[in-house]
């Protein structure tokens, strides 16, 4: 297969030419958000310069352009996820909104006292809190699949947790805190065997690996555009046709209506049913451009490049005295989480920033999984297609200096 040339790819991302404290920016905070290629920035500009209009309503040329661009983006998302129809692709604000939508429509209509929702110990708060609130509201029970010491889910315990009261399994495909790749297809099949529905949180997966929802066979799949080189404020809820068709609307108002009288309301079919009001048209179009960008490089080439980086970075970090890697599962993507035995994570993050290296230090909105490892915070360098071994060399060199209290050389 094709090989990715990180140096060439880097030049597509103008922000990577920034200097921070006099040093070239090294962006290793990709799990928080990714940088945008020039093609995405240009696409937004083109939209506002040549196409801007509200969609669907008006019988004029710009409305047609905007509608065509928006619906073309939906088709790009369909292809990117391997969905069978564009009607299965709902534009939302992000992964968080998509999960809340499902919890508040399907969830509140379906769950009853004593029903069970299964989540994994790896989940981001976005895939815990909506379910916990729903469970508390209806008297349902949240059950948690623990992980082993490597940070991989305990499939044996998962099997035992599933039962006739399980209505939903909500799980991440890739952990944002540890990088664990969860066997979501296998877990989905097991959930379906007991009649439960499955939501997969793809927020940390889509930028790192090829995703095919028809292989996973999940009922819903969610992701955020900004984590896959697209704009903020746009994301995707995928749902299978029959599942979306059976769901009541969430927000209501314009655009999601087939017919309104003061006596009776008829809703549109999905996806329009779930896109009330004027949506984020330009950023949906920008997301389409981002997906074009990664597909041109090839998700498999991206995955190979990042696996190489992950192995390289893992070896570098392992060789640093006093550093403990958190998350050592055999199947990982994108994330290298660690702590020092004697330097607090925030201090590490600030020291790296002084050398132009951006990493997240904190709880990563995934407190339960960090506490599973006895921690409140880690340092979390995270990778994307434009990172190179030299970024990781710089990281490791800075960490070694910090460790022995040696100042960074002048920029």
Query: Taking the complex as a whole, how short is the minimal distance between the CB of residue 57 and ligand PMP, in angstroms?
Result: 28
Which residue in 157, 183, 170 sits closest to 330, CA to CA? 183
The binding site for ligand PMP (CB under 6 A) comprises 94-96, 124, 126-127, 172, 176, 201, 203-204, 224, 365
Query: Taking the complex as a whole, how short is the minimal distance between the CB of residue 81 and ligand PMP, in angstroms?
Result: 16
With H, G, I as helix, E, B as strand and everything else as coil, classify residue 223. strand
Question: What is the number of H-type helices and E-type strands within the chain?
Answer: 15, 17
User: Which one, 115 or 345, has the nearer CB to ligand PMP?
Assistant: 345
Query: 11: Cβ–Cβ under 8 A, 6 or more apart, which residues?
Result: none
User: Which one, 94 or 270, has the nearer CB to ligand PMP?
Assistant: 94
DSSP 284-336: HHHHHHHHHHHHHH-HHHHHHHHHHHHHHHHHHHHTSTTEEEE---SSB-SB-
User: Which one, 67 or 176, has the nearer CB to ligand PMP?
Assistant: 176
Measured from the Cβ of residue 50, the count of other Cβ atoms closer than 10 Å reads 11
**In whole angstroms, what is the distance from residue 222 CA to residue 302 CA?**
20
Query: Taking the complex as a whole, how short is the minimal distance between the CB of residue 183 and ligand PMP, in angstroms?
Result: 16
Query: Taking the complex as a whole, how short is the minimal distance between the CB of residue 94 and ligand PMP, in angstroms?
Result: 3
Residue tagged active-site, from 16, 41, 194, 365: 365
Torsion of CA 319, 32, 183, 207, to 10 degrees: -100
- Chain Cα centroid distance, residue 324: 25
User: Which one, 193 or 371, has the nearer CB to ligand PMP?
Assistant: 371
User: Which one, 95 or 119, has the nearer CB to ligand PMP?
Assistant: 95
Burial (CB < 10 A; 0-12, 13-18, 19+), residue 52, is middle
User: Which one, 201 or 283, has the nearer CB to ligand PMP?
Assistant: 201
H or E stretch at 390:
helix 389-403
Answer yes or no: are the C-beta atoms of 101 and 251 closer than 8 Å.
no
Measured from the Cβ of residue 248, the count of other Cβ atoms closer than 10 Å reads 13
Known active-site residue 365: yes
Query: Taking the complex as a whole, how short is the minimal distance between the CB of residue 151 and ligand PMP, in angstroms?
Result: 14
Longest dimension (CA), the chain: 74
Answer yes or no: are the C-beta atoms of 243 and 197 closer than 8 Å.
yes
Query: Taking the complex as a whole, how short is the minimal distance between the CB of residue 176 and ligand PMP, in angstroms?
Result: 3
Q: What residues act catalytically? A: 365
């Amino acid at each position: 297969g094709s090989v990715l040339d990180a140096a060439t790819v880097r030049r597509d991302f103008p922000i990577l030419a920034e200097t921070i404290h006099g040093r070239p920016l090294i962006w290793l905070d990709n799990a928080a958000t990714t940088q945008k290629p020039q093609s995405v920035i240009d696409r937004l500009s083109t939209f506002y310069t040549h196409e801007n209009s509200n969609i669907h309503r008006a019988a004029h040329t710009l409305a047609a352009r905007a509608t065509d661009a928006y619906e073309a983006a939906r088709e790009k998302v369909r292809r990117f996820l391997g969905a069978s129809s564009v009607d299965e692709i709902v534009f939302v604000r992000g992964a968080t909104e998509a999960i809340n939508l499902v919890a508040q429509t399907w969830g509140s209509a379906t769950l009853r006292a004593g029903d069970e929702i299964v989540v994994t110990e790896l989940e981001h708060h976005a895939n815990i809190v909506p379910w916990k609130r729903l469970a508390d509201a209806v008297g349902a029970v949240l059950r948690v699949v623990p992980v082993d010491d490597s940070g991989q889910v305990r499939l044996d315990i998962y099997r035992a947790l599933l039962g006739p009261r399980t209505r939903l399994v909500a799980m991440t495909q890739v952990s944002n805190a540890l990088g664990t790749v969860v066997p979501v297809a296998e877990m989905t099949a097991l959930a379906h065997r007991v009649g439960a529905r499955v939501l997969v949180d793809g927020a940390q997966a889509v930028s790192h690996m090829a995703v095919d929802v028809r292989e996973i066979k999940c009922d819903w799949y969610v992701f955020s555009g900004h984590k896959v080189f697209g704009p903020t404020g746009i994301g995707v809820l995928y749902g299978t046709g029959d599942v979306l068709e059976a769901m009541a609307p969430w927000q209501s108002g314009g655009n999601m209506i087939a017919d309104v009288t003061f006596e009776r309301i008829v809703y549109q079919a999905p996806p329009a049913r779930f896109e009330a009001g004027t949506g984020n048209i330009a950023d949906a179009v920008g997301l389409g451009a981002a997906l074009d960008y990664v597909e041109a490089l090839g998700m498999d080439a991206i995955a190979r490049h990042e696996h190489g980086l992950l192995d390289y970075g893992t070896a570098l970090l392992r060789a640093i005295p006093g550093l403990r890697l958190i998350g050592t599962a055999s199947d990982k993507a994108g994330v290298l989480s660690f702590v020092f035995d004697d330097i607090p994570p925030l201090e590490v993050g600030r020291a790296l920033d002084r050398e132009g290296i951006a990493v997240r230090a904190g709880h990563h909105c995934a407190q339960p999984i960090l506490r599973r490892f006895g921690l409140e915070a880690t340092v979390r360098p995270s990778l994307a297609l434009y990172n190179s071994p030299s970024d990781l060399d710089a990281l490791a060199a800075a960490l070694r200096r910090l460790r022995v209290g040696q100042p960074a050389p002048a920029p």
